[in-house]
Amino acid sequence: MPLLLEQGFSPSVAAVTLGLGGAGQVLGRLGYLTLVARTSVRSRIVVILAGTAATTALLGAVTTAAALIGAAIGAGLVRGLFTLIQATAITDRWGSTHYGRLGGLMSAPIVLVMALAPWAGTALAGATGSYATAYLVLAVVAALAALLAIASVPRLTPTDTLEGTP
């Protein structure tokens, strides 16, 4: 909302845009099985994080209502996919044997970041001078995450199995 309001859009246009972003999330979740069938664990996360970087950059760069709505739908689609990547991250990498422990370890920093996000987003917008610039900074962060994701899947030795690897 703050980005769209900063761009001069009315609260109703901003609300419709956010709603269409939610519709994009549903589309992303519906397409997840097709993505799983055609990609590896590593390539999925790299592509989704790269998509996050691209759509976040678009949200910060475009200024017309149609372009922002398109970018919001794209961002929603990527977010829908990312939700399922988070849900399967542990079992895709280490199996289900230690799911509870690893899930707890993974969830703690995610919950902390989610709690701080509204404040951090506002602080970043203040530090950069605008929400649009803050989105561009966040796009760079997402692009770096995509690069780091290349190493996100542990290599299994021939004696390891997914179920036996902690």
pLDDT in tens, 111-162: 999 999 999 999 999 999 999 999 999 999 999 999 998 887 766 544 444 4
Q: Please, what's the b/e burial string for 101-137 (b: 16 or more CB within 10 A of its CB; e: otherwise)?
A: ebeeeeeeeeeeeeeeeeeebeebbeebeebbebbbb
- Which tokens hold the place of 84? 């399922």
The yes-or-no verdict on residue 166 having pLDDT over 50 is no
Residues in the chain: 166
**Entry pTM:** 0.83
pLDDT in tens, 55-97: 999 999 998 889 999 999 999 999 999 999 888 888 887 788 8
What are the extents of the domains in the chain?
2-149
